[in-house]
Amino acid sequence: MSTIMPKTITEEFVRRIPKTELHVHLDGSLRIPTLVELAKAGKVKLPSYSEAGLREKVFKDFYKDLPDYLAGFAYTCAVMQNAENIERIAYELAQDHIAEGVRYVETRFAPQLHARDGFPMDAVVRAAVKGFERAQKEHNRSADVKAGRDIPFHFGIIVCALRFFNEHMSPYYKGITQLMHFAPRKQVFAAASLELARAAAVFKHDLGLPVVAFDLAGAEAGYPAEDHKAAFQFAHSHFLRKTVHAGEAYGPESIFQAITDCYANRIGHGTWLFAEDMIRDPDIEDPAAYVRHLADYIASQRICIEVCLTSNLQTLPHMKTIAKHPLRNMLDRNLSVSICTDNRLVSNTTVTREIMLAVEHLKLTPRELRNVVVAGFKGSFFPGDYTEKRAYVRQAIDRYEALEREYLG
C-alpha cells in the first residue's frame, strides 16, 4: 500500500495565495529608484545615488543594533515632506504588495514626522490614503476580481506615536519641544502621543479616513510604554484599535506593559516574549511562571503577534539564524501569529520571502501556513464593520483553499 506524501510548499504557491501585511512602515518601504529620484528633485543629500551604494552604506544586510537599523529613516523621511511624494510612495507600496498576492495591508507611519506649516497631519494622512486608493481601484476593477478568480484589495492606515524624538526630527517635534521647554522629556513625548491619538480619532470618526489603529514605535529601552498611557487610554475610549512595538529590543515586561497599560489588541514583534533572562523587575520572583502566564494570556485572548523575521535577524545579531527565532515556539504554543516585513526597503524583503524563510528554516507545515495566513485576515483591523470583515475573511479563506487544492492536493 503506497503512502501519499504531502506536496511541498513552493514559492509560487506562497506568492499566489491571498496574504496580509499587518506590520509595514511606509517610510521604511520605498523603492530605491524612487528614493534617489525624489532626493535629487528635493536636493536631499544621500550617501550614494546608486542602489548598490545605498545597499552598502545604508540599507544593509546586517545592522549593529536597532538604532543602526533606524538610521536610514532619516533619508526616507526627508523625501516625504509633501503630499505628492507621500501619495506616490504609498501607491508604489500598494502596487508592490498587490504584485505578490498581498490582498490586505495596514501601513503605519508617524504623521508628526511629516507635518509642517501648510501641511497638517490630516493632509499627510490623506496623501497616503490617496495613493493606496488609486492602487486599490486599479486592482479591484480587474477582470480576475470581477470574475471571482481573485479577491479585492483593502487597506488601513495605522498612525504611530514615537517613544522618543528630538527637535531635529521634524518641524512638528521642534514646535512641541520648544513649547514644553521646561517639561521633563517623557512628558513631552507623552504630550505628542496624546495629541496624535486625538487626531486619529478625528481622522477616523469625523473625516471618515481609513485610520484603523494607533501604534507606539521606537527604541524600547529607557522609553517605557507606560509613559504613553494617557494616549492609549484616549484611543481605547474612542474605539481605536491599538498595536504596540514591544518585545523587539526589550523583554517580556515590555509586552506586559503594552497589554496592560496600552490595551494592545496586537503586539508588534514580540520577539523576546519567552526571554526569562531579560526580566528586570526584582518583584517577579518566578520568571518562568511569569513568561508562561503571559504567553498563555496572549494565546487565549488571540492577541495577534506581528512577526518580522528578517528585521529581527538584522537588529538582533546575536540571534544569528532564523532557525533560532521564537516564531517556532509561538506556533507550538498556539499563539495567533502573522508574518510581516516590517520594512520592505530597510530589510530588503517581501511577505512572500518572509513566509518562505519560515517554511525553510522553521519547518512551517501546510497546516501552520494556513493558520498563519488566516490569522492575518482575522487579526486585521479591517476598516469596514464586523459583518463586512467576516465576509472578506471568508473570501480569503475560500480563495486560499482553492489554491491549496491546486498546489498541495
Domain limits, the chain: 11-408
Phi, psi dihedral angles at 245 (to 5 degrees): -65, 115
Q: What is the CA radius of gyration of the chain?
A: 21
Cα separation, 87 vs 49, in Å, equals 22
Burial of 178 (C-beta count, 10 Å sphere; 0-12/13-18/19+): exposed
**CB–CB of 344/93 below 8 Å?**
yes
Q: Which CATH class is domain 11-408?
A: alpha beta
Q: Measured on CA atoms in the order 27, 33, 34, 36, is the torsion positive or negative?
A: positive
Per-residue pLDDT at 6: 54
Predicted pLDDT of residue 4: 45
Whole-number Cα distances in Å, 47 to 35, 51, 74, 219: 12, 11, 12, 24
Taking only the tens place, the pLDDT of each residue in 22-43 is: 999 999 999 999 999 999 999 9
Q: What are the tens digits of pLDDT across the range 203-229?
A: 999 999 999 999 999 888 889 999 999
Q: Which residue has the cell 507545515?
A: 365
Q: CA neighbours within 13 Å on the CB side: how many for 135? A: 24
Kindly list the catalytic residues. Answer: 248
**Identity at 288, one-letter amino acid code:** A
The dihedral formed by the CA atoms of 132, 134, 136 and 139, expressed in degrees to the nearest 10: -140
pLDDT tens sequence for the chain (409 residues): 344 445 799 999 999 999 999 999 999 999 999 999 999 999 999 999 999 999 999 999 888 877 788 889 999 999 999 999 999 999 999 999 999 999 999 999 999 999 999 999 999 999 999 999 999 999 999 999 999 999 999 999 999 999 999 999 999 999 999 999 999 999 999 999 999 999 999 999 999 999 999 999 988 888 999 999 999 999 999 999 999 999 987 899 999 999 999 999 999 999 999 999 999 999 999 999 999 999 999 999 999 999 999 999 998 877 889 999 999 999 999 999 999 999 999 999 999 999 999 999 999 999 999 999 999 999 999 999 999 999 999 999 999 999 999 999 8
